[in-house]
Amino acid sequence: MLAARLHQPTPIEERPLRLEQVSRPVAGPGEVLLKVRICGLCRTDLHIVEGEVEAPGYPVIPGHQVVGEVVDLGPEVDHWRLGQRAGLPWLFRTDESCDFCRRGLENLCPAAEFTGLDRPGGYAEYVVADAAFALPLPETMSDELTAPLLCAGIIGYRSLRQADLKPGERVGLVGFGASAHLALQVARHWGCQVYVFTRSQTHRQLARRLGAAWTGGAEDQPPHPLDCGVIFAPDGQLVPMILDKLRPGGTLAINAIHLSPIPQMDYERIYGERTLRSVANLTRQDGHEFLALAAQIPIEAQVTSYPLTDANQALADLKHSRIDGAAVLTL
C-alpha cells in the first residue's frame, strides 16, 4: 500500500514525508482493518513531523482523524461489520484497568497509545484500529466534513468543557484554526457569546461568518471580560495576555499538546480564583457525545482538500496559517 512516512523529525519546509510502498497491515485480535477514505490534518501531525512531539520509533505514519471503511475483522470482533464506516481518532487504545481509566480519565492513561504516533496513522491507504476505540460515524455527514471532527472537533468540545463554559456565557477562543472554528459553533449552539482572538484577517472573517460577536488580536481588549477562554495556538506568551481579559472566577484552558514556554508573570494575573488548566487528549465518551452533538447542530466544517501526495505542502500551509478552517488528505 502507499503511505506517507516520516523517517526522522525535520522542518516541514524540507518536505520530510516520503511516499513509499509498504506492506498492508493486518487486523489482530480485537482490531479492525480500515480502508482509508480521508484523513484530517492536525497541528499535532506537524509537531510530530518537526520533532516537538517525539515518536517512540521511526519511521512513523502520521494522521489521526481517519474516516475509513471496515474491510476486515480481526478475531474477537463482533460489533463491527464489513463495509461499515468508522472513525479512528487520536486515542488508539488504553489499558482500561489503571486508576485513570477506572475514574473515567482514560485520556490520562499512562499506557495509552496514540494513532499516528505510537501506532501507524491515516496518511496511508489502510490502517488498523482497535475495535473498542474506533467511533461509529453519523450517516448524515460526508467523509470530508466528518474527518476534522475526529480530533479538532472532539478536542475543541472537551476544551470548552474543561474551560467550564456554561450556556449564555462569554468565551474567548485564541487562535482560529480547525479546532476553534468547530468549537465556536458548539458555543453558539449553547447560546454563548464568542470572542475570537487571531492575527489573520481571513480567519476573523470566517469567525464572524460563523457567528463570533467580536474579533481582534490577542493584544486587543474585548468589549467585556471573558467568563472563560480556550487557547488553541501553541504560544505560551498568550497565557498572561488572555488571563488579563478573564473575569475573577473564570477558567482559561490550554488546548495544546506542545506549548512554547509560559513567561514569568505576576500573581495578580491569576489571583481572584482564576483557573489555568491544560487539556490533554480525549476520551471515547467525548467522541460519542460530540459526534451526536455535531449531527444535531449540525456542524459546518470549512474544509480544504489535498491529495495524499501533497501531504508536505498541506502541513506547510497549516504551519503558516494559509488554511481557513480545517484541511484533509484524500485517498
Residue among 307, 309, 2 at smallest CA distance from 125: 2
C-alpha 258/C-alpha 261 separation (Å) is 10
| Mean pLDDT computed over every residue of the chain | 97
Residue 2 confidence (pLDDT): 98
Tens of pLDDT along 124-159? 999 999 999 999 998 889 999 999 999 999 999 999
Could you say which DSSP state residue 229 is in?
E
Residue 229 confidence (pLDDT): 98
- The CA-based angle 293-194-232, given to 5 degrees, is 80
Q: What is the mean pLDDT of residues 214-239?
A: 98
The model's pTM = 0.96
C-alpha cell at 112: 495509552
Listed in sequence order, the residues at least 6 apart from 139 whose beta carbon sits closer than 8 Å to its beta carbon are: 85
Tens of pLDDT along 102-129? 999 999 999 999 999 999 999 999 999 9
C-beta pairs of 246-252 under 8 Å, 24+ apart in sequence: 246/172, 246/274, 248/272, 248/273, 248/274, 249/273, 249/274, 250/225, 250/226, 250/274, 250/275, 251/162, 251/163, 251/164, 251/275, 251/276, 251/277, 252/163, 252/228, 252/276, 252/277
Listed in sequence order, the residues at least 6 apart from 78 whose beta carbon sits closer than 8 Å to its beta carbon are: none
Q: What is the mean pLDDT of residues 246-255?
A: 98
Q: Is the peptide bond before 298 cis (omega within 30 degrees of 0)?
A: yes
Pairing of strands 135-136, 85-88: antiparallel
**β partners of residue 254:** 231, 278
Tens of pLDDT along 19-68? 999 999 999 999 999 999 999 999 999 999 999 999 999 999 999 999 99
Listed in sequence order, the residues at least 6 apart from 312 whose beta carbon sits closer than 8 Å to its beta carbon are: 12, 15, 16, 17
Residue 139 confidence (pLDDT): 87
How is 194-212 classified by DSSP, letter by letter? EEEE-S-HHHHHHHHHTT-
Tens of pLDDT along 148-205? 999 999 999 999 999 999 999 999 999 999 999 999 999 999 999 999 999 999 999 9
- The amino acid sitting at 154 is I
Residue 90 predicted with pLDDT over 90 = yes
Domains, in order of start, for the chain: 2-150+302-330 (3.90.180.10), 154-279 (3.40.50.720)
Ramachandran sector of residue 210 (left: φ over 0; alpha: ψ -120 to 50; beta: rest): alpha
